[in-house]
Chains A and B, each alone.
Chain A
Amino acid sequence: MQAFATGGAAARLADVADVTIDAAPKADVQGPVIETEAVSRAFGGVVVLSDISLKFRPGEVHAVIGENGAGKSTLMKILAGHLQPTSGRVLIGGEPIELTGPAEAERRGIVLVHQEILLAPDLTVAQCMFLGRELTTRLGVDDRAMNAKAAAALARLGCHVPPTARVNSLSIANRQLVQIARALLTPHKAVIFDEPTASLTPVEAGALFQLIGELRQSGVAVVYISHRLEEVKAIADVVTVLRDGKWIATRPAASLQPVEMARLMVGRDLEALYPQRPAKRAGGPALSVEGFVVDGAPEAASFELRPGEILGLGGLVGAGRTELLEAVTALRKGAGRIRIGGADIAFRAPRDAMRAGVVYLTEDRKGKGLILAEPVAVNLTLAALSRFSRGFGVDRAKESAALDKAISDFDIRINDKAMLAGQLSGGNQQKLLLAKMMLLDPRIVIIDEPTRGVDVGAKQQIYQFIARLAGEGRAVIVISSEMNELIGLCHRVLVMRGGRIVGELEGADITEQNIVMRATGVSDAGAQAPDANIRDAHA
């Protein structure tokens, strides 16, 4: 690593924390750090990327946007050496280079921050960050130095987890930050971020944007992939849009509004993203939870859910939203009074909740929602398999008919009914998960992060499904870290902080400011006093 030839001010050494960022003006007439020339890629005859020519310049944040399946991830993998182009070539510093693998790309200063969390859960934060490039003294690994450097690198991201903490004790957001910090320990001339904010809260994302700003200042080429168009608008200098593996446009971010980005991505005008809220229904609560204590939570939580209602649950990642509703549906430990339609009920196992008509759709689609290595049909019927049994066997014809119905009802786009769940795009996986749990015909539907990693087109459809469920008189709880989703979709929003329900907002009071104030527990200086209409949560 010491032998790394620095490519000017852009390169940063392994002791990232010690390097001060020189505020030298951006190198102006420099050629691109990395560029693609007519790059195409096919998988078994299916072309997923065709004829892409892009230049990524030093000191420039270049956002690449597109729906899932547009070819963004394939392009990023080619840039980072994980995949080789079928035709065309990659140039680094103006020279054509054949990247044989990610190690080769890293050696040349091209670093990819993966979207998925790729850390060894049993190692400590510092051990993970220095895995494969441990600092040593004559006597062995130098834990003290690694811990110090890890802590310093994390601090730059506003992340203050101790470097000696085990990765499996961290929240998903903190794991993401550790992963980003780890990538930046490599000397880098170009950094590729693949949806880095998907699991971050606005505060953490803010720290990341600041870091990206510093990278740009120091002349690093930043490639940024995101579904969040507002975010792209805010931090990118240049925006490239891909659709169906083809290049659509590359424009300065200053001249491109999010609405226009969405139009270019989808190839058509999006009607309003959020559907009309279904009318409220009269009647007693569909679900009421009283004095519910989740193991490890500071206090009991109580809330009610009315039929036909879409109830939002906002808060920062780690505020205890997932934990509360997983405990209510017996997926984790907790105790309290649960009533459905006024009658007391106790769930001893997840299937008890399902039988009572309460389903929970996990935020962790890939790990807990779907078996990626199994066909779509097997995933679809897994939760409701008893309905597909005939005698002792599974009725394949009935199962196949259910798949056809799910494909048309939920607009799941698959090429082949034998496709594996893991081969679907994020949006289609989410639709499949919805279809799977709807086979149970639930009365109460809890959806955790319904549109995480989902493209704009599918997002709109998912919102419509949610509104339709409520319109049918089912009660829906949406857990979301996306403010707009809570504001655009929900009748009522509960905000959680540190394991407590700290606020309840309804109607016009559901605003970004009101949610953030309660979620963070700080009212910013300019903010007005909370509206009188906002009731405090009944503790």
Chain B
Amino acid sequence: MTDTALPQPAKARPMDWGAIAPFLALGSLAVVGVIVNTRFLSGDNLVNVITRSAFIATIAAGQTFVITAGGLDLSVGAMAAFVSGVTILFLNSGVIADPALLIAAAMGVALVLGALCGLVNGLTVTLGRIEPFIVTLGTMGIFRSLTTWLAKGGSIVIKSGDVRDTYRPAYFGELLGIPYPVYAIVGVACLGAYVLYRTAYGRHVMAVGSSEEVARYSGVNVARVRTITYVIQGLCVAVAVIFYIPRLGSTTSTTGLLWELQAITAVVIGGTRLKGGAGRVFGTIAGALILEAIGNIMVLSDFVSEYLIGAVQGAIIVIAMLGQRWLARPR
């Protein structure tokens, strides 16, 4: 404010409510959960909620990068279905006899395909200079349609019972009493937070989302930074797919339907600014957990029909935005 440097302790900074809000919301939701049904806080139920949130949480972690850099990816749900379909077809091809090796190779296929799908999105947005909303709306249709075509309008199922049984523990299995998908969430979140907060690339992501012009005038390769966020998003979708396939062992044209909306909701609830510049990876994970917990509480409770889950989740995103606006108000 003034040019004279006043001696002012650095500690005097106000608490960053924006960062804490999603966790407070998650905490109060847990209280509501217990009031509704004491079973909510049981170990089994909590683990169940977290495990079920794994798909949205990992995808939303990737979406955090895209949104922080000022983009948007609407294609993630359709991409998940497409990657999942191709991966199952690879499993069915039986090119490798050993089921474990085949599954490992299939995971590699999923990751490469996810990265490629992301690359297509990213390059179209940056080189084509087209709004990400339009680009990913287009690819959403393409991925969804390709899946339906591959499934010939029906479903793609893992044929070999052997493969299915070998792969099954990836979703249902546990290590030290905790299901593997929970480790996936923690791993993706920690890696994502490290990349976004601690690396030069992460700093560039925030800079590009905050002010593309400043980034350009600072010699940052804006197009490359943006493109890579979409590749990260593709990889996150692939990770989600890797845990999704063993759950049902099949893909249909409705796999991943509306996941994009849930992922974007999780990101926004988590405190990431929708217009870019400020990303919160752990907030996003909290957001995904909030969405799943709401569904779970509604199933456990008797007063609200679970058919209204979508309405409640929709209300939550609007309330989260109002909260953000309120926290960001000039004081």
Residues of A in contact with B (beta carbons under 8 Å apart): 43-44, 46, 48, 67-69, 244-245, 331, 349-351, 353-354, 360, 362, 364, 367-374, 378, 381-383, 385-386, 388-389, 392-394, 413-418, 423, 425, 427-428, 436, 455, 457-458
Contacts and interface: CB of A to CB of B under 8 A. Distances in A.
A417 B12 CA distance: 12
Interface stretch (B206-214, B227-235, B311-319): B206-214
A369 B216 contact: no
A392 B1 CA distance: 36
Question: Top 5 closest A-B pairs, CB basis?
Answer: A351-B219, A383-B218, A69-B2, A393-B198, A69-B3
Contact of A383 (B13, B194, B219, B331): B219
Interface in B277-295: 277-278
Interface string B190-210: 000011001110011011001
A360 B217 contact: yes
Interface string B16-37: 0000000000000000000000
A382 B220 contact: yes
A425 B206 contact: no
B5 interface: yes
Nearest to B202: A394
Contact of A413 (B3, B206, B214): B3
Contact of A414 (B5, B206, B213, B215): B5
Given A46-B1, A415-B8, A382 B218 contact: yes
B305 interface: no
B207 A374 contact: yes
A363 to B, nearest CB: 11
Given A371-B210, A392-B199, A350 B3 contact: no
A385 B205 CA distance: 13
5 contacts: A67-B3, A350-B216, A382-B218, A394-B198, A415-B8
Contacts of B200: 385-386, 388-389, 394
Contact of B221 (A349, A382, A417, A457): A349
Contacts of B216: 331, 350, 368
A439 B194 CA distance: 25
Contacts of A413: 3-5
A452 to B, nearest CB: 16
A394 B199 contact: yes
A43 B1 contact: yes
A402 to B, nearest CB: 14
Given A43-B1, A385-B204, A414-B5, A373 B219 contact: no
A457 B1 contact: no
A80 to B, nearest CB: 16
B6 interface: yes
Interface string B309-331: 00000000000000000000001
B10 interface: yes
A369 B214 contact: yes
A73 B277 CA distance: 28
A414 B10 CA distance: 11
A394 B204 CA distance: 11
Contacts of B6: 46, 415
Nearest to A45: B12
B277 to A, nearest CB: 7
A304 B122 CA distance: 41
A34 B8 CA distance: 36
A350 B198 contact: no
Nearest to B213: A368
Nearest to A43: B1
A455 B3 CA distance: 10
A374 B209 CA distance: 12
A416 B10 contact: yes
A382 B198 contact: no
Contact of B210 (A354, A373, A383, A457): A373
A415 B218 contact: no
Contacts of A368: 211, 213-214, 216-217
Max chain A Cβ within 10 angstroms of own Cβ: one of B2, B3, B6, B220: B3
A367 B203 contact: no
Contacts of B2: 46, 48, 69, 244-245, 425
Contact of B217 (A350, A427, A428): A350
Contacts of A425: 1-3
Contacts of B220: 351, 382-383
A68 B277 CA distance: 28
A415 B9 CA distance: 9
Nearest to B9: A416
A457 B211 contact: no
Given A383-B220, A436-B218, 15 more contacts: A44-B331, A69-B2, A350-B217, A368-B213, A368-B214, A371-B214, A372-B211, A374-B206, A378-B206, A392-B195, A415-B5, A416-B10, A416-B13, A425-B1, A455-B3
Contacts of A436: 218
A369 B218 CA distance: 8
A440 to B, nearest CB: 8
Contacts of A362: 217
A374 to B, nearest CB: 6
Nearest to B223: A349
A346 B204 CA distance: 25
A422 to B, nearest CB: 11
Contacts of B214: 367-371, 382
Contact of B207 (A371, A423, A427, A455): A371
B3 A416 contact: no
Contacts of B3: 67-69, 413, 425, 427-428, 455, 457-458
B8 A416 contact: yes
A418 B219 contact: no
A331 B222 CA distance: 12
Max chain B Cβ within 10 angstroms of own Cβ: one of A48, A67, A369, A436: A369
Nearest to A46: B1
